Structure 1
């Protein structure tokens, strides 16, 4: 019997095993090795994306990025301890919110209201180093899901609602910004509620809230955050959105609204007066 075929078969089998072993050694380190890639940090807080290092590199190579709304258990604990935020809405509440987003007439009304606030959004955002699209997205969401009658002065001053205005801010935010004393008199509280009910003043306070939280998180206030081009900024924006509303699923909605073509055009498009046909 010619030994050559047998030798060739053994050689091929050995070669296949060697290749399989090499592939296995290359793949093995990529499985379930989790670490925290820090995005926003300060003493006592790391807002980061919990992700596998090799997998992150693979995502970058494929033109993808880690999910900025993914918070590690440690981050959630720290945010809950420091800011009192909590988990997502109940599934029923999320379904209701999604249903409201599908109502075209309601969206049209909300966009019209947002357009009236556009000048204030742009001026205040530029002044405080805040992304105007983040401001617009929060306003759109809060106005879209506002409770009927909550902006009526009578209802606001009755104490029936704890938050007011387009951005749904409370008296506690004015206290945190140093605009209202914790021991304010009833007259001062009434005047503060009137400020919250004023749409333009409410937008100013929202921008002030975002600037205040940026400082607390150790984020530079010298430039707006850009979620489209900087993964670190996207994570920071997700954290700011979470802190504004306090619900874990809120960040996902806000980042989606920030990419909404109609809202994007509303904030950034250049408006030109129509030219008369008589000229």
Structure 2
């Protein structure tokens, strides 16, 4: 036996982890994988349910139009309006699923650039004001005049995240509705904190921990009304914020002092 072979045998090291540690790690990995599979199955179950509903409505309307020759113009117009509305809902849901899939599978989807936070928020706010959806609501811009801190974001995707928050506020805010877009500097002066607040109906306390989950089924996180969807807006928003190096939180109250505030924390460049 050569001297080199003897040295190799002598320098053999036992595994750093014990059998017990390895077993524990394997057990935890299996539990995590099982949880992900369960979440994925629940997600696809929810999506299939949400897609079937408008499809069934469209098919029913078409079958009614095909089976009746004496439908008056008013009824026919109502059916066409229903078909168009449900088709828009399908388009909206498919687009949400597509965006969520892209965000989940691509590491380089966002193309960030450095922008002044105050100027960016002002531009977004004034463009949002032009949306007819908000013509009967009070929109407030609460950003300091000289808020020149720079942030690194993909403005197209950040616009989508803020759009989702404004739309969420619009869906759950009724008479004398008010939505406020604000910004401030964090206490440590290393982050900007962007907020979207409303005086809407609020979110029940027990639902708050789950509102960003893509599988959450509560009405408070889904899309009631004319543009029904799969409730993925807040999940998409959260992913965009996290891919931008930040995080998002929500506080909300129901009852007489009702309202909801979403806060986005982003690092300063």
TM-score normalised by the chain length of structure 1: 0.30
Report the structure, 1 or 2, having the larger helix content. Answer: 1
Q: Which has the higher contact order (CA 8 A, sep 6+)?
A: 1
Report the structure, 1 or 2, having the larger strand content. Answer: 2
